[in-house]
Amino acid sequence: MPEEVLFESESRRSREEIARYLRTVVDSLESGESITLTRGEESVTVDLPTRPTFEVKVEREGPADGPGELSVEFELEWNEDAESGGSGEDLKIE
């Protein structure tokens, strides 16, 4: 299935700025409100289902014998035409 990027933003931010962005997402998740992402003239709004699939991934890119680039990714995923369920595995984030 081909992927269509509807919105993308990548920029260096302070931890405090990132926390504010994530709090906005958390507040929208808890209240059931849509999430709107805007950058300049570009904007996209998404309505999340009550049970999207939540994926957490930590990756390291680079040579096996030297320093690389680390990333932590949080992803919410769902089918546009159906309610998502996902597995009920016990995830802990501390």
What residues are paired with 1 via a beta bridge? Answer: none
pLDDT tens-digit map of 27-71: 999 999 999 999 999 999 999 999 999 999 999 998 888 888 999
pTM of the model: 0.79
pLDDT bucket at 87, cuts 50 / 70 / 90? low
Q: Is 43 helix (H, G, I), strand (E, B) or coil?
A: strand
Residues in CB range of 46: below 8 A, 6 or more apart: 34, 35, 36
What distance in Å separates the CA atoms of residue 47 and residue 34, rounded to the nearest whole number?
4
